[in-house]
Structure 1
């Protein structure tokens, strides 16, 4: 299948058109990625501040869980809706509306007087992120239509996701430890305010990114998808802290049935000439389903590793939040270096890079687990193992993301953004829930060096609990390698058999402006 070639994807008319033509794609990329890193930071930075929130607000366990989870729940549930709104109202307008809502909610979170207010504002933050983040990929898709520049932009996007997660751990530890002016945890939210204002000021330079044709909300699809995603995410986020209550299992079973119902509803919407949020034209692209499954696996590994190692470092080894955060730095550096440079490899290796990345990632994760299994710190070799894991993750996620999106028609950019970002977010949620639960069920929340007595008379140290997590993460990474291989073979076979006279870009209708 022929990939998109260079062409002015954001041509328009009038004042918006002049702004779109005047702005270099690199400037637009910098603006949207700044918003992206705010949202990624907020997913991770709050975890470090939970003990301080408990001390100053007197928040209950359930309240603390909702402070952390409320953002993720609203974010995951509303992502697909946010993507479609960008196509209807214009990606710049919706992106800036999301930034404004996120910034305002961050200010409110930093000034929140009570647990209830903070929980409500965290949900509002998540809604702002859900409106803002899908526009990032849409604007990248529309600004970079040639395969090479688009892949480089995707590499930066992947670097921001991983780097922001690592930076969140470090920055959270720094801000909470500094206790600026006696503000305790509040700067972890207030740090978003100046960044958000800067993005809003620069955002007028972004292209509008609207369609000349008519785009509508798929109300039947949204009516099914929204509660289904909520039913899926809610028990995964709150299940382990609440002891996996019966209602959580009921919701998970209902979500499986709901996803099946969604397929039926979307088929009927498309058959009636509507615009389904999960169009068959997108999911039917060669290798798309396998590619999305591979992305899901990569982010599930990433989310499970990030959460599991943070628990082991702080609860198992007794590290401070700052020291634990700094442990992730080698991984973040390696991820950034590989993400920004993998395209320098000869082109004949690019197709196999996702598979190799998954394998290397699994080796690094297993190595780290073996180093920590007996309660030791791992020394310098732990940093080496984490760098190996981070480099492998970059090769897997960044290269696979670029290959999946390089074959998406420009007209489907918004739908693809919503689907890909939702898959990524659900992957992180599932990884945290599954591997976090595995660790906590084996080791519990332990003080440094503790050993938990388990039913049946045996004992599990936190180090051995983390080793079990590492083995499971490595197995999932190998599954991701198999999915990436399937995507590569299907897409390559389709490209070889495609007629040269029918490039993929010709399916894009209506034309963007």
Structure 2
């Protein structure tokens, strides 16, 4: 894996900005920490624990989607109630991600991961046993909060347990799990709902997390031991001062901005985009600007900003955020509209609709884990190439389904292309960017990038969902609406490709 410098040149992985260098320029403390981590807990076991926890959290964003019809019938829930069951997790998850990142820096990443995992597991049990819609909505918010505390710690623990080439492979697995979970959630949700285990209907969609979470809670205290420097200040380089305060003003501004953005994105389409939704989006922009201004002033005064300027200015970080937003918006929007088309116009049941995404999920995961095997000279253009492949594949999906058929074998080929293309567009960007982040900034970087991913998914569902639903009135109209939406997805992917090419042109100059 060859991370890029600000100028676009490549850096050998073994000597890369792996995060082992502290602010003072020394590496001995970080190296000693990494050695202690490897002695205390096998890195493979640690990676398995944190990535399994991460996968559960990502799956729960999507696993409920295909269960909604069954859930609504069983609980006699209203449309608004079902919206909040689906959206409650997403809202609290997106709003609290940055706060979860800072919490890990304050109390320790291992402790925060286990605390978030415990809350997530307990809330999953409560969701699976919920007697009514109101209780289920409340527990979904708690479940999202637990995921928000757990998720940012995954990257920090990986950064501390791995160096060099093993770190590159671990980050590749991290990025593959993070994004392929969307399609996998659709598949698993369909399987569980269709199985109707012991006549429990939708409840296994939540209860499946409980045994897995309990196993991780048993293995976690020992399996993660040693991959944690401890309390604030252990990271070196003045981290004590930065992590010693919570920056409550920054937290409130950022949480408010994300909340005001998230609520209309997840509820606006169903409500017909009312005035309050547009007002909330406008206020979100105002609060985001206020947050940026406040954090800049705080950093200039020598204070402790919520997000380190080192993270915002890390090599490739701004471009990485743009690419992640575009790729995840396309990913989320595509999964959403194709699910609607299959279960509506094509009459697929939950299982068949979920399994249709198996090629996309498999291609995404395989490419995410193996893209580094490509020749090194190709690495700088993998993202642009991935966006181009995704653009062609989106157009192909629209074409093969445009006549109202099921697409046959050509749909399978196009879905493989979507998964492979989006993985190439996303995984190298995330892996290379994270490789340049120092361990003491890993929590902040994880919060920024995962929040960008989540907001990209929300935006994609809202925007492409609006395009699709605005043109759908029947089976034939659904096929036409899908074609138009696929053209919009193609345009989005082309924008991602252009962003990558612009960077290469600047480098060549």
Q: Same fold (TM over 0.5)?
A: yes
Quote the residue 1:185 is aligned against.
202
Q: Tell me the distance in 2 between the aligned counterparts of 1:397 and 1:234.
A: 26
Q: CA deviation at 1:486?
A: 4.2
Structure 1, gaps ≥5 residues long: 452-460, 497-513
- In structure 2, relative to structure 1, the CA distance for the partners of 1:209 and 1:475 (3 Å cut) is farther
Distance, in Å, in 1 between the alignment partners of 2:308 and 2:116 is 25
The 8 Å contact of residues 142 and 413 in structure 1, kept in 2 or not, is answered as no
How do 1:235-314 and structure 2 match up within 5 A?
A: 235-314=264-343
CA contact (8 A) 1:235 1:249 kept: yes
- Give the C-alpha shift of residue 384 in structure 1: 0.5
Equivalent in the alignment of 2:57 = 39
C-alpha separation in 2, matches of 1:199 and 1:487: 42
2:388 & 2:248 partners in 1: Cα distance? 41
Shift of 1:471: 0.8
Q: After the TM superposition, which parts of structure 1 deviate over 6 Å for at least 4 consecutive aligned residues?
A: none
For residue 179 of structure 1, report the CA deviation from its aligned partner.
1.5
Residue in 2 aligned with 1:195?
212
| 1:411 CA drift (Å) | 1.9
Post-superposition Cα deviations, 1:354-387, rounded to whole Å, max 9, x if no partner, equal 1101100111111011111110111011001110
Partner of 1:458: none
The 8 Å contact of residues 177 and 322 in structure 1, kept in 2 or not, is answered as yes
Q: Is the 8 A contact 1:9 1:143 kept in 2?
A: no
Q: Displacement, 1:187? A: 0.7
Give the match for residue 188 of structure 2: 171
Q: What residue in structure 1 maps to residue 93 of structure 2?
A: 75
Residues 404-455 of structure 1: per-residue CA shift (max 9 Å, x gap):
21222222111111101100100001001111111111115x5xxx34xxxx
Give 1:381's aligned residue: 410
Alpha-carbon distance in 2 for matches of 1:101, 1:10: 33
- Tell me the distance in 2 between the aligned counterparts of 1:487 and 1:279: 24
1:135 aligns with 2:153: yes
Q: Which position in structure 2 is the counterpart of 1:354?
A: 383
SS at match of 2:163: coil
Taking structure 2 as the reference length, the TM-score comes to 0.90
Q: Report how many residues are paired.
A: 476
Taking the TM superposition and a 5 Å limit, the aligned residue runs for 1:316-335 are 316-335=345-364
Gaps of 5+ in 2: 6-10, 21-26
Deviation at residue 348 of structure 1 after TM alignment: 0.7
8 Å Cα contact 2:191-2:354 kept in structure 1: no
SS in 2 for 1:195: helix
Distance change in 2, residues 1:282/1:190 (3 Å): same
Q: Deviations over 1:60-110 (max 9, x none)?
A: 111000000000000000000000111111111000000000000000000
8 Å contact from structure 1 (residues 291, 483) kept in 2: no
Give the CA deviation at 1:23: 1.5
SS in 1 for 2:64: helix
Partner of 1:464: 480
| d(CA) in 2 for partners of 1:370, 1:54 | 33
Cα distance in structure 2, aligned partners of 1:408 and 1:489: 25
Contact 1:9 1:145 in 2 (8 A): no
Determine the C-alpha separation between the residues in 2 that align with 1:436 and 1:138.
Answer: 34
Q: Does 1:403 align with 2:440?
A: no
